[in-house]
Structure 1
Amino acid sequence: MFIGIDLGTSGVKVILTNTDGELIASASTRLELSLPKPLWSEQNPQDWWQATCDCLDSLSKEHNLAPVSAIGFAGQMHGATLLDKGGSALRPAILWNDGRCEAECRELTEAVPSVTDITGNLVMPGFTAPKLLWVKHHEPEIFKRINKVLLPKDYLRYKLSGDFASDMSDAAGTIWLDVGKRDWDDSLLNACGLSRQQMPTLFEGNQVTGTLLPSLCQRWGMRDVKLVAGAGDNAAGAIGCGIINPGQAMLSLGTSGVYFAVTREFRSNAASAVHSFCHALPDRWHLMSVMLSAASCLQWYAANAGYQDVGELTADIENNSGIDDDATPYFLPYLTGERTPHNNPSAKGMFFGISAATTRAHMGRAVMEGVSMALADGIDAVHGCGVQADGISLIGGGVRSSYWCQMLANVSGLAMNLRQSGDVGPALGAARLAHLAMNPEIKPSYICPFPKLVKSFEPDNSHFDVYLKRRQKFRELYFAVEPHF
């Protein structure tokens, strides 16, 4: 059997799978977020460890864990976890959604002008490197005591085995990794006052990094258990969905929207705020566009327009509006700023073109179309790197509506394939990476298969032509109002 541990922002999930990839059991524990000041977002690493122990304690009471051969990891990316020489956390971890270090982003970009070429990414406050510069400037006594810098999931690895290790996909989100070479970059580390000695050893996601400590084996009734490198949350989620080879891509529609496409080599489009990271398997990379408000826009409008839920909103859109209806306005879906392609945290949402004939169904359609067009902009930004996808797998709670799935195909001009998705998310990818590490002779596609196809949505070319014109005006509206954000 195999264990997958997923350290999310809101909780820890631990799952148990068998050699057929079937879910045997799961346990989860919630985590609290600390927001001590504006733009700050922190968590105590000790809380991660306690939550993980609680989950494993729970599983061990209900199941015999002696057959477990390996543990894989997935987790929230970019968090700065700072340890002293004794392995204790020097301060709360600064998380991915912390925005305090905008000035340090500019400082690092000026110090290493080639940073985008090296990493394939713009330097943003979410990444790890500018967080360390902030600590250096504002908490110099803590900075002087830093012995190791770990990403969140890798702190759990350290507590479980005593090893300082990370995987390529998670390390790519630090802005210290040469993403093409899959190695730490000394110029970027030096610019932050750090060295390789303070970084974890790098592994591919399906490689063994160490062994579970004997005392913990005894606690949970395990034997010789290997720890496997794992992946950052998005790469682990892709592994769980079988998105492992070039030409494969997925669109995840949750609160945010993420388009994830696998490539055979390192590519980038940082000018359009596309993320370029290593994938969790060797000789694979991935490009990723991020939309900060996706399905959440529909939830927001449904709540404010008096609908019971998004399902009622969708039915109203389908029954009381059409693609050629002049009463449908435009909607800019940037309720919480935007990442790809505009990279504008100050962007705002907007309705434009409301008339006396506009109903709440027309406005609901505008919201659905606006989210779809913004997602298509992100897909185009990724494909601008020369990426071609053999169809796009749709996952996430936002794709329950066949009507919206078809609209996404019509707006993008690309086939959308709705696939089954469970509730284990990145934890399943972590368990599969553990499985791969223990069975290197088995093809990854066997252990990481595509989820079952539920339905394929082919684009309607006549609708695509209409949306091409609407997308042009959609883009023009953004640039027209951008100065007023």
Structure 2
Amino acid sequence: MYLGLDFGTGSVKAILQHDDDTIIATGSASYPVSVPEEGAAETHPDFWISALNDALSQIRYRAGLKESELLSVAAIGLSGQMHGIVPISEDGKVLYPAVLWADTRGSTFLPIIEKAIEGHEQVLLNAPNSGMTAITLLWLKKYHPRIYQEARWFLFPKDYVRYKLTGRISTDYSDASGSLLYNFKSRSWDVEICKILKIDIQKLPPIQDSTAIAGLTTWEATQFGLSEHIPVATGAGDTPAALFGSACFETPMLDNNGQKSSHNVIQISVGTAVQVVRPMITIPAFNPALNYYESVISGQGYHMAAMLNGGLALERVREWLNYNWDEFYCEFDENPYAIPSDLVFLPYLVGERTPYRNVNARGAWIGLGLHHTRQDLMAAALFGVACTVRLGLETLLETNKSITLADYELRLIGGSSRRLSWVTLIASVICQKLTVYEYADLSVKGAAALARTMITGYIPRPCTGTIIQPKIITHFEKIYSQFKESYRRLYEKNYDSQVNVYG
């Protein structure tokens, strides 16, 4: 049996699988994201540990274990939200809550960092964006210098959890590559960039393969109902773990008849954020509107359009409108194409990355009238998020105009994919069919697959899914055009650069 753990922005998911990938049991538990001040997004790691205990208790119960029995598995794999950091002391004490990817407090450093790293773009392959590890470290160094100095390690979320299970410090290439401190040519922390930004490279964890054995569970793991001496894989960020779990690879694979096959794939994840991802075996040219990160498999990476406001925006809108999801979808399912043509929703509650890279963008309903209903506002919000998916796809395809969207298989994953009417709306906005997998939470499936690969060398095979066809709705094109024009009229990229990065 293999255990997969995925630490997302707001919850942990756990899955226990047989050697043939059939699911034995699942568990999940949520935790809060606190906003102690404007722009903040934090979670204390103690909440992750408490949620892990709850999720594993569910696994043990559903697997038929008695309360006193420990769960013994062949291996454990992890995945987790990227970019966030946890500063810990030499003895493992958490010195400050985890600062997450959605945190924008470091945004004032962006123009200075962009200037500081000029000439290094083709080595870093990513433009500075708020919430990225390097920016957060500079913010911490400026505003919490004592914590920065006392920290022995800065760990990514999944790496902190693995440290609690094994007592060992490390990270993987996928998480490291999303830090803006990683050199894609040397596949290591970039000494020169760390020197320019005055970030202590010795505080960054050693990097190893996602499927390497990062350590064995210690006696402390027994507090979660796990046995000792279980091998734990290094793991990966949530997006590369999902790519691995769904076998979304660029390299040729064997089909069901044992023949090699290869085709273009784009995987869309609509979770808290939205990612539109294309796996690659060649390093692309630097594009400031896109991200490029290492994949789980050595020699592979992925190009990504990253939109910050997916479920994050929809969940907040749901709260404002006092809906519960079942209530809304009960209404929406009756006519999911009745999107008001005179109402546009911009979902940029925490700014935006692709394609605008504008931390100052904000959300809005535009065109509100007395005739609009609560359902209209919610439906417009769904349409606005679907528009960001299309905008991400268009930005990604601009890097290779010889291939059209119709040449790709488009896969949709994430919790949102469980709602048929919502998925059909996305397909209709992007005007392409979507393959939706039966099991939506592929990051945790990927974590379990990493554990299996670590022990056996097995590489996942492509999943089967359901094809969702788009509906041709003529006024959707008009709303999409209004969506893009509304942003252009309302927001411009504008940073306050009056901050001393090196203070």
TM exceeding 0.5: yes
Work out whether 1:257 is the aligned partner of 2:262. no
Q: What is the DSSP-based 3-state SS (H/G/I as helix, E as strand, rest coil) of the residue aligned with 1:245?
A: coil
What are the Cα deviations for residues 274-319 of structure 1, in whole angstroms up to 9, with x where unaligned? 222111222221122233334676773897499941341342354x
Q: What is the DSSP-based 3-state SS (H/G/I as helix, E as strand, rest coil) of the residue aligned with 2:14?
A: strand
Work out whether 1:26 is the aligned partner of 2:26. yes
Please, which moves more after superposition, 259-268 or 351-360?
A: 351-360
Of residues 119, 127, 138 in structure 2, which corresponds to 1:122? 127
Work out whether 1:41 is the aligned partner of 2:45. no
Aligned residue pairs, count: 469
Of residues 352, 361, 375 in structure 2, which corresponds to 1:338? 352
Work out whether 1:329 is the aligned partner of 2:342. yes
Task: Look up the equivalent residue of 1:313 and give its one-letter code.
Answer: F
Deviation at 1:19, TM superposition (A): 0.5
Deviation at 1:209, TM superposition (A): 1.8
Please, which moves more after superposition, 368-377 or 158-167?
A: 368-377
What are the Cα deviations for residues 71-96 of structure 1, in whole angstroms up to 9, with x where unaligned? 11111222221222223223322222
Q: What is the DSSP-based 3-state SS (H/G/I as helix, E as strand, rest coil) of the residue aligned with 2:460?
A: helix
1:194 counterpart residue number: 199
Q: What is the DSSP-based 3-state SS (H/G/I as helix, E as strand, rest coil) of the residue aligned with 1:438?
A: helix
Deviation at 1:179, TM superposition (A): 3.5
Work out whether 1:453 is the aligned partner of 2:465. yes
What are the Cα deviations for residues 122-146 of structure 1, in whole angstroms up to 9, with x where unaligned? 2122111122112222222332223
Q: What is the DSSP-based 3-state SS (H/G/I as helix, E as strand, rest coil) of the residue aligned with 2:432?
A: coil
1:15 counterpart residue number: 15
What are the Cα deviations for residues 225-262 of structure 1, in whole angstroms up to 9, with x where unaligned? 21101111222233333323363222223454322221
Structure 2 Cα separation of the partners of residues 438 and 339 of structure 1: 38
Deviation at 1:484, TM superposition (A): 11
1:480 counterpart residue number: 489
Structure 2 Cα separation of the partners of residues 409 and 317 of structure 1: 12
Q: What is the DSSP-based 3-state SS (H/G/I as helix, E as strand, rest coil) of the residue aligned with 1:33?
A: coil
Structure 2 Cα separation of the partners of residues 346 and 250 of structure 1: 28
Structure 2 Cα separation of the partners of residues 245 and 197 of structure 1: 34
Structure 1 Cα separation of the partners of residues 90 and 344 of structure 2: 53
Structure 1 Cα separation of the partners of residues 77 and 346 of structure 2: 36
Structure 2 Cα separation of the partners of residues 268 and 39 of structure 1: 31
Show the 5 A alignment for 1:393-412.
393-400=411-418, 402=420, 404-412=422-430
Deviation at 1:155, TM superposition (A): 1.3
Q: What is the DSSP-based 3-state SS (H/G/I as helix, E as strand, rest coil) of the residue aligned with 2:199?
A: coil
Show the 5 A alignment for 1:257-406.
257-267=274-284, 270-272=287-289, 274-294=290-310, 300=317, 304=321, 308-318=327-337, 321=338, 328-329=341-342, 331-336=344-349, 337-350=351-364, 369-386=383-400, 390-400=408-418, 402=420, 404-406=422-424
Structure 2 Cα separation of the partners of residues 208 and 473 of structure 1: 51
Deviation at 1:394, TM superposition (A): 1.8
Q: Is the 8 A contact 2:191 2:201 kept in 1?
A: yes
Q: Is the 8 A contact 1:228 1:433 kept in 2?
A: yes
2:260 counterpart residue number: none
Q: What is the DSSP-based 3-state SS (H/G/I as helix, E as strand, rest coil) of the residue aligned with 1:271?
A: coil
Q: Is the 8 A contact 1:305 1:360 kept in 2?
A: no
Work out whether 1:90 is the aligned partner of 2:95. yes
Task: Look up the equivalent residue of 1:481 and give its one-letter code.
Answer: L
Name the CA shift for 1:130/1:403 in 2 (closer, same or farther; >3 Å): closer
Structure 1 Cα separation of the partners of residues 204 and 347 of structure 2: 36
Show the 5 A alignment for 1:71-150.
71-150=76-155
Q: What is the DSSP-based 3-state SS (H/G/I as helix, E as strand, rest coil) of the residue aligned with 2:36?
A: coil
Work out whether 1:233 is the aligned partner of 2:243. no
Q: What is the DSSP-based 3-state SS (H/G/I as helix, E as strand, rest coil) of the residue aligned with 1:316?
A: coil
Name the CA shift for 1:305/1:159 in 2 (closer, same or farther; >3 Å): closer
Structure 1 Cα separation of the partners of residues 71 and 369 of structure 2: 67
With the length of structure 1 as denominator, give the TM-score of the two structures. Answer: 0.83
Q: Structure 1 regions of 5+ residues with no counterpart?
A: none
Structure 1 Cα separation of the partners of residues 43 and 418 of structure 2: 33
Name the CA shift for 1:106/1:280 in 2 (closer, same or farther; >3 Å): same
1:68 counterpart residue number: 73
Q: Is the 8 A contact 2:246 2:460 kept in 1?
A: no
Deviation at 1:217, TM superposition (A): 6.5
Structure 2 Cα separation of the partners of residues 268 and 233 of structure 1: 24
Q: Is the 8 A contact 1:99 1:125 kept in 2?
A: yes
Structure 1 Cα separation of the partners of residues 320 and 35 of structure 2: 26
Name the CA shift for 1:332/1:429 in 2 (closer, same or farther; >3 Å): same
Name the CA shift for 1:350/1:163 in 2 (closer, same or farther; >3 Å): closer
Name the CA shift for 1:311/1:396 in 2 (closer, same or farther; >3 Å): farther
Q: Is the 8 A contact 2:53 2:224 kept in 1?
A: no
The CA RMSD measured in Å over matched residues stands at 3.6
Q: What is the DSSP-based 3-state SS (H/G/I as helix, E as strand, rest coil) of the residue aligned with 1:393?
A: strand
Name the CA shift for 1:413/1:200 in 2 (closer, same or farther; >3 Å): same
Please, which moves more after superposition, 278-287 or 190-199?
A: 190-199
Please, which moves more after superposition, 58-67 or 307-316?
A: 58-67
Q: Is the 8 A contact 1:330 1:474 kept in 2?
A: no
Deviation at 1:12, TM superposition (A): 3.1
Work out whether 1:427 is the aligned partner of 2:474. no
Task: Look up the equivalent residue of 2:296 and give its one-letter code.
Answer: A
Task: Look up the equivalent residue of 2:98 and give its one-letter code.
Answer: A
Q: What is the DSSP-based 3-state SS (H/G/I as helix, E as strand, rest coil) of the residue aligned with 2:35?
A: coil
With the length of structure 2 as denominator, give the TM-score of the two structures. Answer: 0.80
Q: What is the DSSP-based 3-state SS (H/G/I as helix, E as strand, rest coil) of the residue aligned with 1:392?
A: strand
Q: What is the DSSP-based 3-state SS (H/G/I as helix, E as strand, rest coil) of the residue aligned with 2:148?
A: helix
1:160 counterpart residue number: 165
Q: Is the 8 A contact 1:332 1:349 kept in 2?
A: yes
Q: Is the 8 A contact 1:279 1:285 kept in 2?
A: yes
Structure 1 Cα separation of the partners of residues 359 and 423 of structure 2: 27
Q: Is the 8 A contact 1:160 1:216 kept in 2?
A: yes
Work out whether 1:185 is the aligned partner of 2:199. no
Structure 1 Cα separation of the partners of residues 149 and 465 of structure 2: 53
Q: Is the 8 A contact 1:269 1:382 kept in 2?
A: no
Name the CA shift for 1:311/1:282 in 2 (closer, same or farther; >3 Å): farther
What are the Cα deviations for residues 81-121 of structure 1, in whole angstroms up to 9, with x where unaligned? 12222232233222222221122333332222235433222
Of residues 219, 243, 252 in structure 1, which corresponds to 2:248? 243
What are the Cα deviations for residues 450-474 of structure 1, in whole angstroms up to 9, with x where unaligned? 1x322242686xx68x766764554
- Greater per-residue helix proportion: 1
